[in-house]
Amino acid sequence: MRVTKERVLVAMSGGVDSSVAAAMLVEQGYDVVGATMKLFCHDDDLPDRPCCSLDSVNDARRVCQQLGVPHYVLNLESAFGRDVVEDFVNEYANGRTPIPCVRCNTFTKFRDLLVKADAIDATWIATGHYARTVDGVMYRGVDHSKDQSYFLWGIHRAVLSRMLLPVGSQSKAETRRVAHQLGLEVIAEKVESQDICFVPDGDHTKIIRQRLGADAPSLSPGPFELSDGRVIGAHDGFARFTIGQRRGLPGGFREPMFVVAIRPGDRAVVIGPREELLGRGVVAREINWLVDTPPVGTHVDIQVRHRARPARAEIVRLDGSEIELALDEPVSAITPGQSLVLYDGDRVLGGGFIERAAGQRAPLPVRAA
Q: Annotated catalytic sites, by residue?
A: 104, 197
Minimal CA–CA distance to 4: which of 109, 110, 123, 114? Answer: 123
Smaller CB distance to another protein: residue 116 or 204? 116
* Chosen residue from 6, 86, 118, 236 binding another protein by CB under 8 A: 118
Instruction: Report, in Å, the least distance between residue 9 CB and another protein.
Output: 9
**Applying CB under 8 A, which part among 92-100, 114-122, 216-224, 246-254 lies near another protein?**
114-122
Instruction: Report, in Å, the least distance between residue 79 CB and another protein.
Output: 11
| CB 131 within 8 Å of CB 348 | yes
Instruction: Report, in Å, the least distance between residue 28 CB and another protein.
Output: 19
Instruction: Report, in Å, the least distance between residue 368 CB and another protein.
Output: 33
Smaller CB distance to another protein: residue 61 or 356? 61
How many whole angstroms separate alpha carbon 176 and alpha carbon 173? 5
From residue 303 to residue 322, what is the string marking binding to another protein with x (rule CB under 8 A)? --------------------
| CB 36 within 8 Å of CB 128 | no
Binders of another protein among residues 27 to 56 (CB under 8 A) are: 33, 36, 38, 54
Kindly tell me the burial class for residue 255, based on how many C-beta atoms sit within 10 Å of its own C-beta (0-12, 13-18, 19 or more): exposed
Kindly tell me the burial class for residue 20, based on how many C-beta atoms sit within 10 Å of its own C-beta (0-12, 13-18, 19 or more): buried
Instruction: Report, in Å, the least distance between residue 187 CB and another protein.
Output: 17
E strand segments, the chain: 7-11, 31-38, 71-75, 124-126, 131-134, 137-140, 163-164, 222-226, 231-235, 257-263, 268-273, 278-289, 299-303, 311-319, 322-332, 339-344, 347-358
How many whole angstroms separate alpha carbon 355 and alpha carbon 150? 17
* Chosen residue from 119, 230, 252, 295 binding another protein by CB under 8 A: 119
How many whole angstroms separate alpha carbon 103 and alpha carbon 48? 25
* Chosen residue from 49, 96, 103, 116 binding another protein by CB under 8 A: 116
From residue 53 to residue 82, what is the string marking binding to another protein with x (rule CB under 8 A)? -x--x---x--------x-xxxx-------
Binders of another protein among residues 208 to 247 (CB under 8 A) are: none
Residues that bind another protein (CB under 8 A): 33, 36, 38, 54, 57, 61, 70, 72-75, 111, 115-116, 118-121
